[in-house]
């Protein structure tokens, strides 16, 4: 602090220097000012030193310090306070006790004690002798500066002097920092030293962009059992995830009338700036495989349903999800899981107690025979993060992740074959091509981010990341329908479609948020800027294979794609009195594609070669869109939000023509909603909203090629309502219902095989569930105390309902209702529990399609698109045994 004060004097002295003097005088003045300042600093230092040693005592100093964790309940309930600890330090510098001075019965006090007991000091010394000491450590738990989304109370910009302490105390992650440097301590044993003041800041949640902008915290994510990160998404209103293609393929995501397939309509990120979606992936544009994320290390996830935040980039059509990684329960966790279908999982988490939540290492291994034929899998991965403090209020974080998985794929089955008993629901076709289906996925990524918290809420971040993702699948959706393009008399060898997609990407991001301004007494606001860049080098190929040797009998795709995305945004967040809040900005992206399509300009077998096959082309395009949110807070318990935004989805590069202005799919998203949160949401929060989305062109799955094809413009309108309640401290409840009316606004593009595709006004969009219901419940209670150790029980329930979905060609799927449950007890370091997924053993389709296939189960093949299903998992029971040290 003294140093900062003198720096200010230096700055003041420099400012006082008259700029109009000759250079020499100017130089002389500056040097004189500096000299005076240096002398003053030295004098202060000597004075301080003299004070420190006046009694012959050398005070203690902190050697290592463990951050106190802001108790989640306290943060949620917006409780603040200061806990003063009397800390006894022995002659070696170890903390021997920490007692609360005052009211000790609070979770804030517990959190403070837990942290301080892990601190280490240099011993205080009297002369050369180390002595025990007692010091007083006030630890202040303070919430971040309120924003409109947090409280209706108007945030007061701090004074300049306040901002100095703010600059070191405000931390977006739950962390701790000293606002005042250590001062002298009392050296005599048993006496009290001068305080070592510490402030613990809770995180400042991002400004709400819509009623449906929500963050699922640790409690919400762990209320119901989840066997994957993707399934955690289902706890957000309107989201449903499924997967039938095995453990090595990304989940399918449904949200608000969007069948986001493997991520085409959902922007997924990690730690705010590491993209999970992949550009121009062969298996689906925006392919996002979340399987590399270990569920236990997800600290929170933010879901924005709709496109209302200028930070949302490519693929944020239905919305976006950001996973924040961190381990809340510090220590060493070893967890073994074994259960149905010979499924085994081993997890190890190392979360050093003297590090912050974002520092951890986790490794997992999983194997399973699968719940039916050809569904076995093997996977493993590791994630490690290290967060570290740097001088000048900088904080850095290194993130590493590696993952690999291989799984068999049973494939989809014709519904009529199942109904006729020709194939079992959980089986695979008894066909060598069907049984050769599999997928392999790999991913490795490295990221570095540095952020600086500056005075009064200003914040600057920079991030770098690089990623390699490999994907290799062999899937046969259609049986025997294909004919070789290369050799037209090669037919009937099986439609085993091999897809290979290797993606090497790197990128960077920069964001800056200004301090909070107050141009008028009732108006406050800030400005934010952001830049992002990514470039991807994608090699992809698609071939037809003939089993059992997997001989290639046709080539469909062989291409290299170089794609880049440069994005920039400006965002503002202004409060006009405590009742009106306006946020919004503009985002612009420039995407560039360079495609080497080696099978372009295909030369059919019957045509003599007159040129070299191949087609190289480039394209570039801009996507610009505003996003704005108006929030009204007429009373403390009610908020009314109006949101509008334009987003985009980048095109599949191979479908671009030379020089085409990258025809983005443009989305217009709007929402009006209410958030009712009496008592600041401590017990219950109710939200309702109506929303609408239009998309300039949509895509749907084409089974013949195993990829997405355009179907035309679409509109979705719907309603969502959710209730989150904590009627008692030990019980968490969340429920939501989302309805949507999704329609095709025009006929699909005409093709040679269908020059006038059938279309009626108001035609329902296929694959979209009109109703999605989700209920999460979690109860955690101390059951007994045995030998002074609490026995804590946990119960969790998760229920998902997906209504009947329209399918192409007039068909409708069956509805899906699933109940998951978990129960566990924890005693000391040991936790034992059972998870049950699909408790009622419902036979349901994880995915349904309608297309033409021929599995030779009838005399003559049907060429009318038929319903196909990919089986969802039956009742699955898993026993968990965990040890936490």
Partner 1 sequence: MKILSLFAAIILAACGQTGQNEVSYPILAAGIADATVAVGDWTIVLTRADVGIGPIYFCAASGASLDLCPHAVQEFTHDALIDGLDPTPQSLGQVTGVSGSLRSTKYDLGISWPLTSSNVVPSASAPEGHSVFLAGRATRGTDSFEFTAEIDIEPSYQGAYAILGQRVDVAVADSNARLLVRVAPDQWLARLNFDSLFAMGASPVRIADGYAALEDGSVDPRQAARNALVLAITNTQKPDFEWTTGE
In the complex, which residues of this chain contact partner 1 (CB under 8 A)? 480-481, 483, 489, 491-492, 704, 739, 741, 743-744, 752-760, 762-764, 766, 770-771, 773, 801, 803-804, 806-812, 815, 817, 851-852, 854, 856, 858-865
Angle at 146 between CA 144 and CA 147, to 5 degrees: 125
Q: How far is the CB of 765 from partner 1 (least distance, A)?
A: 9
Separation of alpha carbons 488 and 802, rounded Å: 43
Q: How many CA atoms lie within 13 A of 694 on its CB side?
A: 6
d(CA 855, CA 420): 14
Min separation Cβ 237 and partner 1, Å: 15
Nearer of residues 106 and 484 to partner 1, judged by Cβ: 484
Please give the Cα distance from 770 to 241 (Å, whole number).
Answer: 15
Question: Which is nearer to partner 1, 65 or 716 (by Cβ)?
Answer: 716
CB of residue 411 vs partner 1: minimum separation in angstroms? 17
Nearer residue to partner 1 within complex by CB, 716 or 780: 716
Q: Which is nearer to partner 1, 69 or 239 (CB)?
A: 239
CB of 544 to partner 1, least distance (A): 13
CB 414 to partner 1: min, Å: 13
Task: Output the six-digit token pair for 647.
Answer: 């987003």
> 152: which 2 tokens?
């209706």
Measure the CA–CA gap between 120 and 65, rounded to whole angstroms: 7
Q: How far apart are CA 139 and CA 20, in angstroms?
A: 50
Q: How far is the CB of 744 from partner 1 (least distance, A)?
A: 7
- Quickly tell me which residue has 């035309």 as its tokens: 712
Residue 704 main-chain phi, psi, to 5 deg: -60, -40
Q: Which among 229, 376, 237, 415 is positioned nearest to 811, based on CA atoms?
A: 415
Contacts of 378 (CB under 8 A, 6+ apart): 366, 367, 405, 406, 407
* Residue 410 or 816 with smaller CB distance to partner 1: 816
Beta strand extents in 329-437 (DSSP E only): 331-339, 343-351, 360-368, 377-390, 394-408, 413-414
Q: How far is the CB of 318 from partner 1 (least distance, A)?
A: 19
d(CA 274, CA 446) in angstroms, rounded, equals: 9
Q: Which residues contact 393 (CB under 8 A, 6 or more apart)?
A: 167, 168, 452, 453, 454
Q: How far is the CB of 706 from partner 1 (least distance, A)?
A: 14
Q: Helices (DSSP H) in 399-457: which residue ranges?
A: 415-419
| Secondary element (H or E) of residue 11 | helix 2-16
The nearest distance, CB 179 to partner 1, in angstroms, is 53
548 cis-preceded (ω within 30 degrees of 0) = yes
Contact 743, 695 (CB under 8 A): no
Cβ closest to partner 1, residue 189 vs residue 861: 861
Q: Which is nearer to partner 1, 109 or 768 (CB)?
A: 768
The nearest distance, CB 740 to partner 1, in angstroms, is 9
DSSP labels, 630-643? EEEEEETTEEEEEE
Strands 360-368 and 343-351: antiparallel
Positive or negative, the CA dihedral 601, 603, 604, 608 is positive
Pick 64 or 858: Cβ nearer partner 1: 858
Based on CB atoms, which residue is closest to partner 1, 634 or 762? 762
- Alpha-carbon torsion, ordered 155, 725, 230, 561, to 10 deg: -30
Name the residue with tokens 């039916």: 372
- In this complex, which beta carbon is closest to partner 1, that of residue 208 or of residue 813? 813
Closest CA to 317 of 390, 261, 362, 271: 261
342 or 856: CB nearest partner 1: 856
Is the Cβ of residue 256 or residue 453 nearer to partner 1 in the bound state? Answer: 256
Q: Which is nearer to partner 1, 406 or 483 (CB)?
A: 483
CA distance 403 to 643: 38
Could you report how far apart the first and last alpha carbons of the chain are, in Å? 39
Q: For the CB of residue 870, give the shortest distance to partner 1 in the complex, in Å.
A: 20
Comparison of 732 and 851: residue with beta carbon closer to partner 1: 851
* Residue whose CB is less far from partner 1, 370 or 748: 748
State which residue, 408 or 766, has the beta carbon closest to partner 1. Answer: 766
CB of 223 to partner 1, least distance (A): 21
Backbone φ and ψ for 431, nearest 5 degrees, come out as: -150, 135
CB 859 to partner 1: min, Å = 8
Rounded CA separation 403/291 (Å): 8
Report helix, strand or coil for 54.
coil
Where is 254: in which H helix or E strand?
A: strand 252-255
- Count of beta carbons in the 10 Å neighbourhood of residue 344: 15
- Distances in Å between the Cα of 385 and the Cα atoms of 293, 324, 350, 360, 389 are 12, 12, 10, 5, 13
Smallest gap from residue 817 Cβ to partner 1 (A): 6
Residue 760 token pair: 């009626």
CA proximity to 560, closest of 617, 498, 621: 617
User: Nearest distance from residue 823's CB to partner 1, in Å?
Assistant: 23
Q: Which is nearer to partner 1, 372 or 748 (CB)?
A: 748
CB of 547 to partner 1, least distance (A): 13
Minimum CB separation of residue 255 from partner 1 in Å reads 17
What CA–CA distance (Å, rounded) separates 489 from 163? 77
């Amino acid at each position: 602090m003294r140093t900062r004060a003198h720096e200010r004097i230096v700055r003041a002295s420099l400012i006082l220097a008259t700029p109009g003097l000759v250079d020499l005088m100017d130089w002389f003045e500056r040097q004189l000012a500096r000299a005076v300042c240096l002398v003053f600093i030295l004098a202060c230092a000597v004075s301080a030193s003299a004070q420190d040693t006046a009694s012959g005592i050398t005070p203690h100093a902190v050697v290592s310090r463990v951050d106190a964790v802001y108790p989640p309940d306290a943060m949620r309930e917006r409780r603040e306070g200061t806990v003063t600890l009397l800390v006894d330090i022995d002659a070696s510098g170890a903390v021997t006790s920490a007692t609360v001075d005052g009211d000790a019965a609070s979770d804030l006090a517990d959190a403070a004690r837990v942290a301080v007991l892990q601190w280490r000091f240099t011993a205080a010394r009297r002369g050369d002798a180390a002595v025990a000491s007692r010091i007083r450590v006030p630890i202040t738990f303070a919430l971040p500066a309120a924003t409109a989304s947090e409280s209706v109370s108007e945030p007061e910009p701090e004074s300049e002097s306040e901002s100095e302490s703010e600059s070191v105390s405000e931390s977006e992650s739950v962390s701790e920092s000293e606002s005042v440097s250590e001062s002298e301590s009392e050296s005599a044993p048993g006496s009290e030293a001068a305080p070592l003041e510490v402030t613990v800041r809770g995180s400042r949640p991002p400004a709400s962009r819509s009623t449906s902008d929500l963050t699922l915290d640790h409690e919400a994510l762990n209320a119901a059992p989840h066997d994957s990160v993707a399934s955690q998404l289902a706890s957000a209103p309107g989201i449903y995830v499924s997967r039938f293609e095995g453990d090595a393929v990304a989940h399918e995501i449904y949200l608000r009338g969007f069948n986001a397939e493997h991520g085409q309509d959902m922007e997924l990120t990690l730690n705010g700036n590491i993209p999970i979606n992949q550009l121009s992936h062969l298996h689906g544009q925006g392919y996002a495989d979340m399987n590399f994320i270990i569920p236990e290390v997800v600290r929170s996830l933010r879901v924005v349903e709709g496109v209302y935040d200028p930070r949302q980039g490519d693929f944020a059509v239905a919305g976006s999800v950001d996973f924040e990684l961190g381990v809340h329960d510090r220590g060493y966790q070893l967890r073994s899981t074994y259960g149905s279908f010979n499924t085994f999982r081993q997890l190890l988490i190392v979360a050093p107690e003297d590090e912050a939540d974002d520092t951890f290492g986790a490794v997992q291994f999983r194997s399973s025979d699968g719940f039916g034929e050809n569904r076995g899998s093997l996977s493993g991965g590791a994630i490690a993060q290290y967060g570290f403090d740097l001088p000048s209020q900088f904080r850095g974080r290194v993130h590493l992740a590696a993952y690999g998985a291989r799984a068999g794929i049973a494939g989809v089955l014709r519904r009529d074959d199942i109904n006729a008993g020709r194939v079992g629901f959980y089986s695979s076709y008894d066909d060598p091509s069907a049984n050769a289906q599999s997928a392999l996925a790999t991913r490795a990524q490295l990221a570095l981010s540095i952020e600086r918290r500056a005075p009064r809420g200003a914040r600057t971040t920079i991030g770098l990341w690089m990623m390699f993702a490999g994907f290799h699948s062999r899937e046969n959706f259609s049986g025997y329908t294909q004919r070789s393009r290369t050799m037209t008399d090669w037919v009937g060898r099986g439609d085993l479609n091999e897809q290979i997609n290797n993606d090497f990407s790197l990128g960077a991001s920069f964001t800056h948020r200004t301090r909070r301004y107050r141009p008028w007494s009732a108006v406050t606001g800030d400005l934010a800027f952001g830049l992002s860049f990514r470039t991807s080098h994608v090699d992809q190929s698609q071939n037809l294979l003939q089993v059992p040797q997997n001989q290639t009998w046709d080539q469909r795709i062989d291409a290299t794609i170089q794609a880049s995305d440069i994005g920039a945004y400006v965002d503002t967040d202004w409060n006009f009195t405590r009742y009106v809040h306006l946020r919004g900005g503009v985002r612009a992206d420039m995407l560039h594609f360079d495609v080497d399509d080696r099978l372009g300009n295909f030369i059919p077998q019957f045509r003599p070669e007159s040129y070299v096959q191949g087609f190289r082309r480039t394209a570039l395009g801009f996507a610009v869109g505003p996003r704005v949110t108006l929030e009204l807070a007429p009373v403390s318990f009610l908020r009314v939000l109006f949101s509008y935004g334009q987003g985009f989805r980048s095109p599949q590069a191979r479908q671009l023509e030379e020089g085409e202005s990258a025809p983005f799919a443009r989305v217009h998203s709007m929402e009006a909603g209410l958030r009712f949160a009496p008592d600041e949401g401590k017990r219950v929060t109710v939200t309702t909203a109506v929303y609408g989305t239009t998309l300039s062109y949509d895509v749907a799955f084409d089974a013949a090629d195993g990829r997405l094809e355009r179907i035309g413009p679409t509109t979705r309108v719907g309603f969502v309502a959710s209730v989150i309640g904590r009627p008692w401290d030990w019980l968490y409840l969340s429920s939501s219902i989302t309805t949507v009316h999704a329609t095709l606004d025009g006929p699909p593009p005409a093709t040679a095989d269908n020059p006038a595709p059938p279309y009626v006004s108001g035609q329902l969009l296929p694959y979209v569930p009109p109703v999605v219901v989700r209920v999460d419940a979690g109860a955690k209670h101390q059951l007994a105390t045995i030998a002074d150790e609490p026995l804590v029980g946990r119960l969790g329930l998760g229920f998902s309902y997906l209504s009947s979905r329209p399918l192409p060609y007039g068909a409708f799927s069956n509805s899906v209702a699933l109940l998951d449950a978990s129960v566990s007890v924890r005693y000391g370091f040991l936790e034992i529990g059972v998870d049950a997924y699909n408790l009622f053993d419902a036979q349901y389709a994880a995915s349904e399609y309608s297309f033409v296939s021929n599995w030779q189960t009838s005399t003559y093949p049907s060429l009318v698109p038929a319903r196909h299903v990919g089986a969802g998992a039956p009742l699955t029971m898993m026993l968990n045994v965990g040890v936490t040290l």
